[in-house]
Chain A
Amino acid sequence: AQKITQTQPGMFVQEKEAVTLDCTYDTSDQSYGLFWYKQPSSGEMIFLIYQGSYDEQNATEGRYSLNFQKARKSANLVISASQLGDSAMYFCAMREGQRGGSEKLVFGKGTKLTVNP
């Protein structure tokens, strides 16, 4: 069963506008972590933001914020004031496995964001 679902294969946004990339997750663990990564066309994986399941506040990092709705099991990434350089694949991922042991990141299928000038 898919643990991380990203329902938007592709998204388009105008430069300087905000965009929300959706992510829902499935877990029965009480403690878990959610990560977002960016993969530009050059191929590297860039960490953007982290949200822990016990964090009461939504995570923010510069123009990135995470809209964490625990009851809905969603962790949407919000990018404010989009820039052309934001065009990339975006992956949502969840930490899974025994804490301090066999942990791994499980990734969604990604959303390709295109920022139009």
Chain B
Amino acid sequence: DTAVSQTPKYLVTQMGNDKSIKCEQNLGHDTMYWYKQDSKKFLKIMFSYNNKELIINETVPNRFSPKSPDKAHLNLHINSLELGDSAVYFCASSQGKGIGHSPLHFGNGTRLTVT
């Protein structure tokens, strides 16, 4: 019974390619997020969506475009991949509009390697 699932788990690609990461949650949550974890394990928010509406866009390059077809799905498309995009990307969800006192529920992450 996976709560937040991301695919693929691993993604290896060459510079300049375009790739997508998919995320789905079956928790009935209203808000979904993308976080990036760099090689030093630092986690930083990229985007949040509430019920398909973009709420947070944290100065992420335009090459990153999130898409939320419905409140249970939040995909991340990355154009013209660069070496610096190599990281682990986590999808997460939270109940209601925001976080409150409820924790974020994270997916298992997608390890992106750009060569």
Q: Which residues of A contact B (CB under 8 A)?
A: 33, 35, 37, 39, 43-45, 47, 50, 52, 89, 91, 93, 95, 97-107, 109-110
Cα of A44 to Cα of B101 in the assembled complex, Å: 21
Chain B interface residue count, Cβ-Cβ cutoff 8 angstroms: 28
Do A109 and B97 contact each other (CB < 8 Å), given the known contacts A43-B109, A47-B103, A104-B33?
no
CB distance from A35 to the nearest CB of B (A): 6
Is B84 in the interface zone, CB < 8 Å from A?
A: no
Pairwise interchain contact A35-B108, C-beta atoms closer than 8 A: no
In the complex, which of the residues A33, A101, A104, A107 has the most CB atoms of chain B within 10 Å of its own CB atom? A104
Pairwise interchain contact A44-B109, C-beta atoms closer than 8 A: yes
CB distance from B106 to the nearest CB of A (A): 4
Give the chain B neighbours of A106 by CB distance below 8 A. Answer: 45
Q: Is the interface of A mostly helix, strand, loop or mixed?
A: strand
Cα of A47 to Cα of B48 in the assembled complex, Å: 19
| The 5 A-B residue pairs with the shortest CB-CB distance in the complex, in nearest-first order | A103-B98, A45-B106, A47-B103, A107-B43, A103-B99
Give the chain A neighbours of B33 by CB distance below 8 A. Answer: 104
Cα of A106 to Cα of B103 in the assembled complex, Å: 12
Give the chain B neighbours of A35 by CB distance below 8 A. Answer: 103-104
In the complex, which of the residues A103, A106, A110 has the most CB atoms of chain B within 10 Å of its own CB atom? A103
